[in-house]
Structure 1
Amino acid sequence: MADKRELLILGGGLVGMTLALAAARKGISSHVVDRADPAELTAVGFDGRASAISTASWNLFTNIGLAERLEEQGCPIASIAVTDGMKPGRIDFQPGPAEGSLGRMFSNRTLRLALFEAAREQPLITWHARAQIVGRERGEHGVVAELADGSRLEASLMIAAEGRNSPTREDAGISIAKWDYRHRAIIAGLTHEKPHDGVAWEIFYPAGPFALLPLLDGPGGVHRSALVWTVDEKDAAGVLALSDRAFAAEVEKRMHGVFGAVALEGPRSSYPLGFHHTAKITSHRLALVGDAAHGIHPIAGQGLNLGLRDVGALVEVLAEGMRLGLEPGDAQLLSRYEQWRGLDSFMVALATDGLTRLFGIPGRLPSAVRRFGMGMVQRTPPLKRWFMDEARGMTGTLPGLLQG
């Protein structure tokens, strides 16, 4: 039995579900298909990761009605400190009083809970959780996903939001450039003696960046931060095998006493780091969003924000086209989305890849050169402002949903 909607969103993660909610705000209906169990995704301890939500992405959440659900659960990022191994010559990014914060930190679990709750309340979203796709069709007049239970879900446009290993992208034969950094990100929650004061630290070491991201204080005023520690793949097993006490000692050493005594909060997790970027982000009646289109190093915390820029642009293109009488799968609309997002996402991907390689060069001379450059940025307000606007996601041609 067929059930027709305008969009068929394959993947109901942070980007896919945000897309469904943003589309619904414009009156666009969707099927959202995801093989995962929502109860597992939102279980305590399932995913210890946290995400930095940029100013532009927060504008998107505000414009689709999510901000009220999230406001009290996020920690504002008051400033960002960037340093080469805690040596002299760091950059401090701090917005003016009228600009508010540089973004907000949320646990991924918090974001999922808010998104899933909003999706359940939205009649324009039909959510198919724990669903296995056994067939995909993209024809002249529409698209179809066939589920293992025999259901056939029809729509005008298919959207791949399944992440880095998107089977829909592979099925469409879209070529991809990718490489492995041979690094692994170790994720952990920390409690610490001194307050973080809303400062996000990005400490660069030759083995990779060491990021400390501010979280809201816990019960009893316990100071908390999220750690993203990049290590060489060959060292990852040894670091993960350390006892909690030994791991905390290694973390303290790399923090140079910034937060005082440190303890672990919850289990550690890790994932390999790689780069990928597709040759194109559209095909016949198909659009790619988020990590299905581009996967970047977490060095600047822009991965999710890049996907949310895809969401804003695609929804704006579709809504404007539908007002003119075009259907969502129209080739003209997909071409406009490709032109809008293809170059921007590629430039961000290149920038993060370049930073990863630049700060990975060991030795005193490369460190001195990097710190000289960072000092120049610190002393040049227009250049510093540009980097800060990039971090806030407020550069380039912004979709309406991402504007204030």
Structure 2
Amino acid sequence: MADKRDLLILGGGLVGMTLALAAARKGISSHVVDRADPADLTAEGFDGRASAISTASWNLFRNIGLAETLEPHGCRIENIAVTDAMRPGRIDFQPEPHEGTLGRMFANRQLRLALFEAAKSEELIAWYSEAEIVDRQRGEHGVSATLADGTSLEASLMVAAEGRGSPTRDGAGISLAKWDYRHRAIIAGLIHEKPHDGVAWEIFYPAGPFALLPLLDDEAGRYRSALVWTVDEADADGVLKLSDRAFLAEVEKRMDGLFGALELNGGRSSYPLGFHHTAKIADHRLALVGDAAHGIHPIAGQGLNLGLRDVGALVEVIAEGKRIGLDPGDAQSLARYEKWRGLDAFMVALATDGLTRLFGIPGKLPSAVRRLGMAGVQRMPSLKRWFMDEARGMSGDLPELLKG
């Protein structure tokens, strides 16, 4: 007899596996299928990227039982400093003492380790790693996927969580708006002389944002940060080929001595930057989550957090539907998910795209206008509060799993 489950989650990355665990906490079962080998994804040096986990996303991790495992590995973000090329007129976002932090920084590897370990012991999750899907079907009464080894998996709802190049989304014929920024993000770890004090820096240059994200000190007690440096695509290969000494000289120039002497912590990597947003995030017995639905610029560190909001909303509509006897793939539940998440995701995507273009205008006059506007925001507590709530993910109609 086939092991039919509630969800068939295609993609077991950060968003897909969080969805499976969040669903399990509500008694919702799932198959999770992923092409990758978990051992590769959690290997030292596989992915030097780090993610800013907003307050709302941290609430989600706490509500699904991961906070105790993750807490020792996260660096608290106490403040966000935004500046136009280190010139006067910066904005500082700092929450009130009773509000806690603006979020936490985690190495992506550490997030994967915690998620994968929790999934192994969860009976409501059937996990298929290193698996190739050769066929996907969505029928009137359920969905299925056939693996290369002949295994057939059945469920009520198919969820595409495969990332930007989602074959499930494309196979469903869901159209999307997209463009290439012709920029690349250079990722590197830095060890520095002065402490970061929990401050995340977003330094805007015409070529693109230059972000310094606070990490925990290493085992030797040295101060560390993650660098995400956006460069023009035409310059990216040249930047990657620089010697360590030359690379650090370019980084130091853009930091204006902020953290004192620098050294590299690990290697360098890069990935191209683009924008895409689907026309819809739900179809017949199909829901899209995370980058399968919306890929945005990392300018404000909201990409993963946007996907985790999808997770909270989808789990909530399915759980509430099941309580009144609805099938997890019911069209009413999916319509509610579409309405709930579609507009929010679109507005965040537009905002990040707009910021990228606004700060990319070169010249002294545009810079002066931007700095004047930033100085105005700095003097307006209500406007700063709105921006902080957005950064913390605590604005709008939040799913229950993302509330404190």
Tell whether the structures are fold-level matches, with TM greater than 0.5. Answer: yes
Determine the structure 1 residue equivalent to 2:59: 59
TM-score (norm 1): 1.00
Indicate the SS of the match to 1:76: strand
2:388 alignment counterpart: 388
What is aligned with 2:200?
A: 200
Aligned mates of 2:155, 2:130 — CA distance in 1: 20
Which residue identity does 2:92 align to in structure 1? D
Amino acid at match of 2:137: E
Query: Counterpart amino acid of 2:203?
Result: I
Which 4+ residue blocks in structure 1 deviate beyond 2 angstroms?
none
2:116 match: 116
Secondary structure of 1:2's counterpart equals coil
**Matches of 1:22 and 1:167, distance apart in 2:** 24
Tell me what 1:278 maps to.
Answer: 278
Partners of 1:3 and 1:318 in 2: CA distance: 19
In the alignment, which residue of structure 2 is the partner of 1:402? 402
| Alignment partner, residue 212 of structure 2 | 212
Name the structure 1 match of 2:19. Answer: 19
Query: Which residue number in structure 2 is paired with residue 153 of structure 1?
Result: 153
What residue is the counterpart of 1:86 in the other structure?
Answer: 86
For 2:86, what is the secondary structure of its paired residue? coil
Partner residue, 2:171: 171
Tell me the distance in 1 between the aligned counterparts of 2:172 and 2:86.
Answer: 46
Secondary structure, in 3 states, of the residue corresponding to 1:220?
Answer: coil
Which residue in 2 is equivalent to 1:259? Answer: 259
Q: Within 5 Å, which residues of 2 pair with 1:287-306?
A: 287-306=287-306
Aligned length, in residue pairs? 404
Offset, 1:219: 1.4
1:220-259 matches, within 5 Å, as 220-259=220-259
How far residue 344 of structure 1 moved from its aligned partner, in angstroms, is 0.3
Within 5 A, what are the aligned runs for 1:359-398?
Answer: 359-398=359-398
Aligned-partner Cα distance in 1 for 2:10–2:49: 23
Q: Give the equivalent residue in structure 1 for 2:49.
A: 49
Matched residue type, 1:173: G
Cα distance in 2 for partners of 1:360, 1:220 equals 39
Residue equivalent to 1:162 = 162
Which letter does structure 1 place at the counterpart of 2:169? R
| Alignment match, 1:350 | 350
CA distances 1:132-173 after superposition (whole Å, capped 9, x unpaired): 000000000000000000000000000000000000000000
Corresponding residue of 1:183: 183
Q: After the TM superposition, which of the residue ranges 159-168 and 237-246 deviates more from structure 2?
A: 237-246
- Partner in structure 2 of residue 32 of structure 1: 32
Secondary structure in structure 1 of the residue aligned to 2:291: helix
1:95 aligns to 2:95 (yes or no): yes
Q: What is aligned with 1:10? A: 10
Residue 116 of structure 1 and its aligned partner are, at CA, apart by 0.1
The amino acid across from 2:237 in the alignment is A
> Structure 1, residues 104-151: CA drift from partner, whole Å, max 9, x if none?
000000000000000001110000000000000000000000000000
**Unaligned 5+ runs, structure 1:** none
CA drift at 1:245: 1.0
- The one-letter amino acid paired with 2:326 is L
- More deviation in 2-11 or 19-28? 2-11
CA contact (8 A) 1:137 1:145 kept: yes
Structure 2 unaligned regions, length at least 5: none
The aligned amino acid for 2:99 is: E
Q: CA deviation at 1:68?
A: 0.7
Is 1:324 the counterpart of 2:324? The answer is: yes
Matched AA of 2:314: L
Please report how far the alpha carbon of residue 2 of structure 1 lies from its aligned counterpart in structure 2 after TM superposition. Answer: 3.1
- The 3-state SS of whatever aligns with 1:305 is helix
Name 2:68's counterpart in structure 1. Answer: 68
Could you report, residue by residue, the CA deviation over 1:72-125 in whole angstroms, capped at 9, with x for unpaired residues? Answer: 100000100000000000000001100111000000000000000000011100
* In 1, Cα distance between equivalents of 2:245 and 2:224: 17
Letter in 2 for 1:276: H
Is contact 1:2-1:151 (8 Å) kept? no
Confirm or deny: 8 A CA contact 1:32 1:125 kept in the other structure.
Answer: yes
1:96 alignment partner AA: E
Alpha-carbon distance, 1:264 to partner:
0.6
Name the amino acid aligned to 1:257.
G
One-letter code of the match for 1:328? Answer: P
Q: Could you tell me how far 1:69 is from its partner in structure 2?
A: 0.5
Q: What is the SS of the residue equivalent to 2:388?
A: helix
Aligned equivalents of 1:376, 1:322: Cα separation in 2: 49
Deviation of 1:3 (Å): 2.2
* Matching residue's letter, 2:43: A
Over the aligned positions, Cα root-mean-square deviation in angstroms equals 0.5
Paired amino acid for 2:104: R
Residue 227 of structure 1 aligns to a residue whose secondary structure is: strand
Quote the Cα distance in structure 1 between the aligned partners of 2:237 and 2:207: 15
Partner Cα distance (1:160, 1:175) in 2: 14
**Structure 1 residue matching 2:212: 3-state secondary structure:** strand
Q: What one-letter code is carried by the residue in structure 1 that aligns with 2:88?
A: P
Q: Tell me if the contact between 1:3 and 1:152 (Cα under 8 Å) persists in the aligned partners.
A: no
Per-residue deviation at 1:301?
0.2
**SS at structure 2 position matched to 1:259:** coil
